[in-house]
């Protein structure tokens, strides 16, 4: 109401000013009293203009104060209606649920969460929105990738939930703000919708997924060879099959009946951390299962793991050459033990240790041969493990590394040939087997593999002939259909048009007759030109 009155008052003053100017011009033109009229006119004009500007400024300020007041009024409402979701209950992040989630599950630390959000200052000014970009925002929860208030608020939400989060400055951008959009010590309001979340993948093949229930202390992690003290609870479906405190060496957990997935996760954990590990069969008990725990073949497992304490092993750079060679001998023996037991991934871990210790070791000629022998054995054995695991690309990779050290290594050539044969790279496989025969002409297995490659190549060529023959037959049938249904009618119309033109040109001298005949379902158009 006050704003409307201000506009009416300004309009009235302007009207009076216009009327006064007209009267002044009349006196100036006809009565000739310019000395009194014009200064008065200018004075009134300036006064009304200044009053108008002051009024507009005041009105704008009032509107801004009203808007800020409305947002300030809304802020206590969020605090009153919402719940404090901060761990220490200091009111730093208050939440009001606008739409409840679909289920009771909530994201954990380290989860990949996907949200839509809109962020505003308390005066209602929007400073960021994923909705405006039309692209949802994904981040790792609890990893410091967003402000503290969002980390805390989103961790309290359910999938599908939409809520308002009011974050105090200490849970937002603090005294520094985020210029130019967010001033210092600004309280922020977010509207957030949690679209989805999933655990953190610890392996490229998705075989180990981690979800952190309790964050650990500091940033120190166990390394390969560390001795760890953990509490385990293993589940197959809903059944608890293992619950115990156990000590084991990272990389050798199989000795204590702990699956590889738990072993590999150790290097990502901190002291005091409690997490859920979701293991695919490859990182659990595999296709054999584990009769001791009544676990069937190819079973998915879930472990709740708490890292109570650990003692780190020496890093590679802290070891002397003698220690590295002694440890390599132990790792070779342990890898052979795991290989014979069918634990191929565990064996690979042991052989990888040897490579990590010795690959970059530069020694004199006396010890060079010893180091090289360890590397050759480790990489050849890894190639054999990967053959059993059907990871043929890794077989080729490890054999290539062996051949860089020894280009005529019979085992490396043969195993690379086997991997290429399984990948249907018959010509490359046959080349490898022929190289084996050049190194050792009495190798019967290689000679047999050459014959198999030749037979596979012939079969492949025959298959190609049949495939391409059928393909060309289908192309020919397709071309006939196109001709009969599309091209032939157009060609007929073209011929009729030509005949019509001929009729117009030579009609006085010739008679043109178009004869239609049908043969085997196709219409043929014969054009007879008769002289007269």
CATH number assigned to the domain comprising residue 152: 3.10.50.40
Residue 343 lies in a domain: yes
Mean local confidence (pLDDT), 513-525: 45
Surface-to-core class of residue 29, CB atoms within 10 Å of its CB (0-12 exposed, 13-18 middle, 19+ buried) = exposed
Q: Are residues 376 and 428 in the same domain?
A: yes
Statement to judge: residues 88 and 181 lie in one domain: yes
Both tokens assigned to 253: 């957990």
DSSP for residue 194? E
For the question of residue 128 being annotated catalytic, the response is yes
pLDDT at 466: 75
The closest of 164, 154, 160 to 111, measured between CA atoms, is 154
pLDDT tier for residue 219 given thresholds of 50, 70 and 90? confident
Range of the domain at 287: 208-313
> Over the stretch 104-119, which tens digit does the pLDDT of each residue have?
789 999 999 999 999 9
Task: Give the domain-ending residue among 452, 486, 512.
Answer: 452
Q: Cα–Cα distances in Å, from 396 out to 219, 332, 373, 399?
A: 37, 21, 19, 5
What percent of the chain shows pLDDT beyond 90?
A: 67
**How confident is the model over 318-373, as pLDDT tens digits?**
999 999 999 999 999 999 999 999 999 999 999 999 999 999 888 877 789 999 99
| CATH of residue 340 | 1.25.40.10
Residue in the block written with tokens 């290689």: 446
Where b means 16+ CB within 10 Å and e means fewer, 406-424 reads eeebbbbbbbbbbbbbeee
**Confidence band, pLDDT 50/70/90 cuts, at residue 460:** confident
Interval 280-300 mean pLDDT: 94
Q: Does residue 165 carry a pLDDT above 60?
A: yes
Q: How far apart are CA 280 and CA 503, in angstroms?
A: 82
pLDDT of residue 61: 41
pLDDT in tens, 403-423: 999 999 999 999 999 999 999
Distance, in Å, from the CA atom of 425 to the CA atom of 445, rounded to the nearest integer, reads 18
CB-neighbour burial class of residue 304 (10 A; exposed 0-12, middle 13-18, buried 19+): middle
Task: State the catalytic residue, choosing from 109, 117, 171, 182.
Answer: 117
pLDDT of residue 480: 67
- pLDDT given at position 7: 45
All residues at 6 or more sequence positions from 431 whose CB lies less than 8 Å from its CB, including other chains: 417
For residue 76, is it within any domain?
no
In this structure, are 104 and 186 located in the same domain? yes
Candidates 20, 45, 128, 139; catalytic one:
128
Tokens of 146: 């967003």
CA torsion angle for 421, 427, 428, 430 (degrees, to 10)?
70
Mean pLDDT of 267-294: 95
Question: How far is Cα 300 from Cα 201, in angstroms, rounded to an integer?
Answer: 15
Active-site residue identified among 147, 152, 212, 354: 147
Do 376 and 447 lie in one domain? The reply is yes
Active site annotation includes 190? yes
Q: Is the pLDDT of residue 123 over 60?
A: yes
pLDDT, tens digit, for every residue of 431-442? 999 999 999 999
pTM over 0.95: no
The CA distances from residue 308 to 228, 273, 362, 385, 508, in Å, are: 8, 8, 38, 33, 111
Number of domains forming the structure of the chain: 3
Q: How confident is the model at residue 518 (pLDDT cuts 50, 70, 90)?
A: very low
Answer for the pair 112, 160: CB distance below 8 angstroms, yes or no.
no
Does residue 278 sit within a domain? yes
Q: How far apart are CA 168 and CA 116, in angstroms?
A: 21
Look at residues 144, 174, 198 and tell me which one is the last residue of a structural domain.
Answer: 198
Mean of the per-residue pLDDT values of the chain: 82
Cis peptide before 180 (omega within 30 of 0): yes
Q: Quick one: 353 and 262 in the same domain?
A: no
Tell me whether residue 403 is in a domain: yes
Residues 396-402, mean pLDDT to the nearest whole number: 97
Report the side by side order of strands in the sheet with 227-236.
200-201, 208-214, 274-279, 301-311, 227-236, 239-249
For residues 439 and 337, membership in a common domain is answered with: yes
**Does one domain contain both 130 and 241?**
no
What is the reported pLDDT for 104?
A: 75
pLDDT for 18 equals: 54
27 given a catalytic annotation: no
User: Given 111, 152, 182, 190, which residue is catalytic?
Assistant: 190
Active site residue 173: yes
Long-range contact pairs involving 75-83 (C-beta distance under 8 Å, separation at least 24): 75/122, 75/166, 75/187, 75/189, 78/164, 78/166, 78/189, 79/166, 82/164, 82/166
Q: Are residues 215 and 240 in the same domain?
A: yes
20 annotated active-site: no
Give the active site residue among 171, 173, 248, 285.
173
Checking if the pLDDT of 212 tops 90, the result is yes
Q: Looking at the domain assignment, is residue 90 inside a domain?
A: yes
Q: Are residues 265 and 150 in the same domain?
A: no
The answer to whether the Cα torsion of 304, 306, 310, 315 is positive or negative is: positive
**Is the pLDDT assigned to residue 128 strictly greater than 70?**
yes
Least-confidence region, from 5-9, 225-229, 407-411, 422-426: 5-9
What's the pLDDT band for 522 if we cut at 50, 70, 90?
Answer: very low
């Amino acid at each position: 109401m006050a704003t409307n009155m201000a506009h009416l008052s300004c309009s009235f003053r302007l009207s009076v000013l216009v009327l006064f100017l007209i009267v002044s011009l009349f006196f100036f033109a006809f009565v000739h009293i310019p000395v009194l009229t014009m200064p008065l006119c200018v004075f009134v004009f300036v006064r009304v203009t200044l009053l108008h500007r002051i009024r507009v400024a005041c009105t704008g300020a009032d509107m801004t104060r009203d808007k800020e007041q409305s947002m300030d009024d809304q802020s206590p409402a969020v605090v009153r209606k919402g719940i404090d979701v901060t761990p220490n209950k200091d009111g730093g992040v208050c939440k009001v649920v606008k739409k409840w989630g679909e289920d009771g599950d909530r994201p954990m630390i380290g989860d990949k969460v996907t949200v839509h959000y809109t962020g505003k200052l308390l005066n209602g000014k929007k400073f960021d929105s994923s909705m405006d970009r039309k692209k949802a925002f994904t981040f790792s929860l609890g990893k410091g990738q967003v402000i503290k208030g969002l980390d805390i608020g989103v961790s309290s939400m359910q999938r599908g939930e939409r809520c308002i989060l009011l974050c105090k400055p200490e849970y937002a951008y603090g005294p520094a703000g985020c210029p130019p959009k967010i001033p210092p010590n600004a309280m922020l309001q977010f509207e957030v919708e949690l679209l989805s979340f999933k655990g953190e993948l610890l392996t490229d093949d998705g075989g180990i997924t981690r979800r952190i229930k309790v964050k650990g202390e500091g940033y120190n992690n166990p390394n390969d060879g560390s001795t760890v003290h953990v509490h385990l609870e293993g589940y197959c479906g809903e059944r608890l099959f293992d619950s115990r405190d156990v000590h084991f060496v990272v990389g050798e957990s199989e000795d204590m009946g702990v699956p590889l997935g738990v072993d590999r996760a150790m290097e990502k954990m901190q002291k005091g951390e409690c997490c859920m590990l979701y293991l695919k069969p490859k990182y659990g008990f595999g296709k054999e299962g584990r009769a001791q725990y009544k676990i069937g073949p190819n079973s998915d497992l879930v472990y709740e793991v708490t890292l109570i304490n650990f003692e780190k092993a020496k890093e590679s750079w802290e070891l002397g050459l003698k220690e590295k060679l002694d440890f390599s001998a132990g790792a070779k023996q342990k890898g052979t033990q795991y290989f014979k037991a069918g634990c191929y991934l565990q064996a690979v871990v042991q052989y990888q240790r040897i490579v990590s210790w010795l690959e970059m070791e530069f020694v004199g000629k006396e010890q060079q041969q010893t180091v090289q022998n360890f590397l050759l054995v480790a990489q050849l054995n890894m190639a054999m493990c990967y053959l059993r695991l059907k990871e043929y690309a890794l077989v080729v990779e490890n054999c290539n590394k062996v051949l860089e050290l020894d280009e005529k290594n019979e085992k490396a050539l043969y195993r690379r040939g086997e991997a290429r044969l399984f990948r249907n790279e018959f010509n490359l496989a046959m080349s490898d087997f022929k190289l084996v025969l050049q190194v050792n002409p009495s190798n019967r297995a290689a000679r047999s593999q050459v014959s198999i490659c030749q037979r596979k190549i012939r079969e492949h060529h025959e298959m190609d002939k049949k495939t391409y023959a059928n393909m060309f037959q289908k192309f020919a049938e397709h071309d006939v259909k196109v001709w009969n249904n599309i091209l032939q009618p157009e060609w007929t119309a073209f011929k009729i048009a030509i005949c019509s033109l001929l009729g117009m040109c030579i009609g006085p001298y010739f008679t043109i007759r178009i004869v239609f005949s049908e043969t085997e379902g196709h219409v043929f158009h014969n054009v007879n030109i008769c002289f007269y």
